[in-house]
Amino acid sequence: MGLGTVFGGWKIIKTLGVKLVNLNPIHGFTAEASAATVIEVASRFDLPLSTIHIISSSIMGVGASKRLSAVRWGVGGNIVLAWFITLRPVQSLPG
């Protein structure tokens, strides 16, 4: 994971934190806290979810709470389109 972050993760971080919405530290904290809450609640109910989908949605939500024009919806649309292109069925683990 560390090597993945070093070689490719910064592009994702830049896209989410600057290109999608220009985040200040307090907005980043808010997005992370809301994403962590959603992930925790979903885990309690054994609901499968993608953490990158949750954090991306949280970042868009934080940006939209400032003002709708704060979110670059074209970038957000490209992210959502990529989710659908890479969508694959969830397989349950044995046991």
* Rounded Cα gap, residues 39 and 51, in angstroms: 7
* 66 and 85 Cβ atoms separated by less than 8 Å: no
* Predicted confidence (pLDDT) per residue in 5-32, tens digit: 778 777 877 888 788 888 888 988 999 9
3-state secondary structure of 2: helix
- pTM confidence score: 0.75
DSSP for 29-62 reads HHHHHHHHHHHHHHHHTT----HHHHHHHHHHHH
Query: Chunked in runs of 10, what are the mean pLDDT values of the chain (95 residues)?
Result: 76 82 89 94 90 89 89 90 74 59
d(CA 54, CA 62): 12
